[in-house]
Each structure stands twice: as C-alpha cells, then as structure tokens.
Amino acid sequence: MRIHFHGAAGEVTGSLHLVEAAGRRILLDCGMLQGSPEQEARNAEPFNFDAASIDALVVSHAHIDHVGRIPLLVKRGFKGPIFAQAATADLMPIMLLDAASLAENDAERANRRRRPGIPEIAPLYLREDVTDAMAQVRPLPYDTRTTIAPGVDIAFRDAGHILGSSIVELWADGKKLVFSGDLGPKGTPILRDPTPIAQADLVLMESTYGDRKHRERMDTVRELGEVFERALAEHGNVLIPAFAVGRSQELLYWFAQYFDAWKLARWQIFLDSPMAAKVIGVYERHVELFDEQARAVWQHQPLPFKLPNLHISQSIDDSMAINRIEGGAIIIAGSGMANGGRIVHHLKHNLGRRNAHVVFPGYQAQGTLGRRLVDGAQWVRIHGQDYRVNAQRHTVGGLSAHADQSGLLAWYGQFEGAPPLALVHGEDRAREALAGEIHERDGREVFLARPGRFIDA
C-alpha cells in the first residue's frame, strides 16, 4: 500500500491523498485550497494524476477544504463512486452548491472589472457540475465495514469534528491505514468524542493545532458572555464570522444554554446564512448522532435553532437590511475566515465603528481577511476599497472544532505500539512541534507529508 500526498501536506487546506493498493487507486478527500488569491488560484490547476484513473473517492467530512474540488474531479473525468458518512452525504450538496454560487459571483464581479484584452474569467465549476458529482455519492453509516473496490474495505468512525465527520479505516494488501480526517476535541457540544482506534499499520493524522493548547471551552464561553455584556453597554453590534457547518450550530447551542445569563433577549440575533439554515435541517434529521447531553437539551426550551429572537436571513434583501442596524445586533455569517460571503459586507459597515465587536471563533488561514484582522491590521481592503479598522477584535480559541496538541497526542497514544505516523493538514510550525512531542514520548520518527511525496504502509 502506497500513499501519495497531493494536498494539505505542509498547509491546512486542500486535503487530497491518493492510496494505491490491491491494484486500485483510492482518493481520500478532494478539498479546496483556501487563503490568499494566489493559493486559491491553484484550485484550477490540473490534478497531479489522471482523474479518470481513480477507482473511488472516500470523503472524511463536508468542510469545503475536504470536498471543494469534487465537482472539478468529476468534470475532469472521475466516474467512480464517492463514499461518505450519511450526514456528510446530506451536507455535501449544500456546501458545494454554495461554493459554486460564490465562484460564479466572483467570476462575474472580476469580469466586470476586466481590462480590455484580458481573457474572461470562468468559475471553477458551475451548479450543474455539483449536481453531476452528487449523483455518484454513496452514503454509508458509521461503524460498518464495507467493500468499496475489489480488495479494498473501509469503515467510518466518528471523528467528533462536525456532524458526520469521519475517521477512515482502510484495509488492503493485508495492511490497515487509518486516516484521522479532522479530529474534534473531547467535550464538543452536540457531537460525540472522537473514536479511539487501537490498531493500524500506518496513521495519517491532522496537525492543525499541533503546536498549541486550546483554552478551556468554558473559559471561552464566559468570554463570549463578557463580549456581549460590553457590546450591549456600548450599544454596538457583534459580528461573528462562522463556518456554516459546525461553528454556527455550536454558537446557537450556547446561546440557548445562556439565553438568560447573557441577556440575549435584549438583542436581535441574525443567522445571515442560507447555507447554515439548510445545515440546521440536516442536524435536525440526524439527532441520533448527537451526544447524550445534546439530545437532552433538544427536549427543553429554548431550542437552539428556534430562539425567540433568532432571524434566519435567506434573501439578499434580508441581509442588506441588517446593515442598517447600528447597535443591538448579533450577526453570525459566513465565511468563517471572512474571505467571502455575507460577513464581508457586514464588516464593511461595522469595522469603522469603535463600539462594534468582531469575534473570531475559529481558525483563520494565512492570506484571509480574517487572519489580517486577527493579526491586528489597522486598514483592510475589501472589494477594492480600503477600510479603517476601529472595531474591537476578540479571538476565542476555545471553540475550535479541532483537537489541540494534547488531544492529538491522546488520540494517537491510543494506538498499540506507536504505529508509523504521517502528519498532514498542518502548517510546518504546528507539525514540527507535534512530531517532536511524539518522538520524545514514543520514540517514533514522524513523517511530514509534502506534495509529491509518498509513504508505504
């Protein structure tokens, strides 16, 4: 069994790994690169393999950096089955249709500004390409071993990262590969903890936060309450760039839990994301995947997704109307890294206000607007215009959907005999720190994946 690394190998986005085993070629994920315009331009480049030669695609979860190039893969000749956990299969068309719509809008905007003689820009893919790709999806439950090609079996285990997120076990050639996907921290609201696995011949593990430890979740929850209290006293708005899958739902969960303590009845709460609204529907169809505490919460009022002052914005007019509110609004909107979507328009209207608060509850990749704001930029450029940043900024790391260094060490430590390990989905600083900790604890030399490199199991 040989694994070739083609994405999320020395960076966080663009997950893409090719497994050659039993005479078959199996892809693990086919994600989109996110970050700077230069990074995102790489999405249109040819794959480093013939798409038509791939026998099957196995998807770890529905975040766009793990599924975002699937329509392009199909468009370029892939005709095999796409295997995903059942909730992931429900989430994928929502995510990909949104990505296609954004790509079409971005291309239209760029072409309006195009100088004479410059070729017209085409979207990465269209909505009909998403429809074509989704016809190849084959949903699978957790904890069931399935043959996906002659000589190749897989099973999905709960990764605790977002709804439907999966650790992938893959058996072929008498070997067993375990791909972590993205691992969630223990105790994440709504979700179950990542599944421990005891045996593997090779482990591919994410390392997003391999160099740090998160704040305690409850410390972050208290900090959120303090932000709302301060913003209420200052009569300002609170803007929260949040991923439509996972983070938006967790925030609403905490809002329900602390509705009275945080005086949330005095706010207007906006979920300004048609995609997040559709995702809520998927959550409500898969309550069986919730942890025990969340299932109990869903039996009481107020329900997280039906708060009395929650407004779910669908149309563009609904979204634009929010911009007329100068105080008393909590606005949750995508994208989670503020590199597109409706949050960008809300930032344009609020960054100059000293009583506005911007809360960053998740990872901000290099090159994104979110990262520039987190790093303290005093001016930012949005849609070709410069905006002064007077708003107050808050980074609340304790709500991360990724395990921190301690969580990653604990999950890998559950394997018997410290099996060979390759680190993916992490910047070098994070991977090197995690590799050092593992070598010191287990005596295991760790392989740092790079694009174009491979490892044998």
pLDDT by residue for the chain (457 residues), tens digit each?
999 999 999 999 999 999 999 999 999 999 999 888 888 889 999 999 999 999 999 999 999 999 999 999 999 999 999 999 999 999 999 999 989 988 888 888 888 888 888 888 889 999 999 999 999 999 999 999 999 999 999 999 999 999 999 999 999 999 999 999 999 999 888 999 999 999 999 999 999 999 999 888 889 889 999 999 999 999 999 999 998 888 899 999 999 989 999 999 999 999 998 888 899 999 989 999 999 989 888 877 678 888 999 999 989 999 999 999 999 999 999 888 898 889 999 999 999 999 999 999 887 878 899 999 999 999 999 988 999 999 999 998 788 889 999 999 999 999 999 999 999 999 999 999 999 999 999 999 999 999 999 999 9
* Same structural domain, 118 and 198: yes
Region of residue 275 (left: phi > 0; alpha: psi -120 to 50; beta: else): alpha
* Same structural domain, 58 and 161: yes
Report the CATH number that the domain containing residue 367 is assigned in CATH.
3.40.50.10890
* Same structural domain, 425 and 373: no
The pLDDT score that the predictor gives to residue 283 is: 92
- Number of structural domains (the chain) is 2
pLDDT digits (tens, 9 = 90+) for 176-229: 999 999 999 998 889 999 999 999 999 999 999 999 998 888 898 899 999 999
The pLDDT score that the predictor gives to residue 345 is: 96
* Same structural domain, 297 and 150: no
Q: Could you identify the residue written with the tokens 């997704």?
A: 305
Which residue segment(s) compose the domain that 429 sits in? 2-212+401-456
* Same structural domain, 190 and 56: yes
The pLDDT score that the predictor gives to residue 110 is: 81
The pLDDT score that the predictor gives to residue 399 is: 84
* Same structural domain, 358 and 424: no
* Same structural domain, 238 and 362: yes
Report the CATH number that the domain containing residue 155 is assigned in CATH.
3.60.15.10
* Same structural domain, 158 and 280: no
In the listed set 399, 423, 442, which residue is the last one of a domain according to the structure?
399
In the listed set 399, 418, 433, which residue is the last one of a domain according to the structure?
399
The pLDDT score that the predictor gives to residue 379 is: 98
The pLDDT score that the predictor gives to residue 109 is: 80
* Same structural domain, 394 and 418: no
Answer whether 0.85 is exceeded by the pTM. Answer: yes
Q: Give me the residues paired with residue 179 across strands.
A: 168, 204
Whether the CB-CB separation of 338 and 368 falls below 8 Å is answered with yes
Q: Which burial class, exposed, middle or buried, applies to 135 when counting CB atoms under 10 A from its CB (0-12, 13-18, 19+)?
A: exposed
* Same structural domain, 299 and 381: yes
* Same structural domain, 380 and 279: yes
The pLDDT score that the predictor gives to residue 15 is: 98
In the listed set 399, 425, 444, which residue is the last one of a domain according to the structure?
399
Query: What are the φ/ψ torsions at residue 21 (nearest 5 degrees)?
Result: -160, 150
* Same structural domain, 227 and 84: no
The pLDDT score that the predictor gives to residue 205 is: 98
Dihedral sign, CA of 435, 204, 374, 376? positive
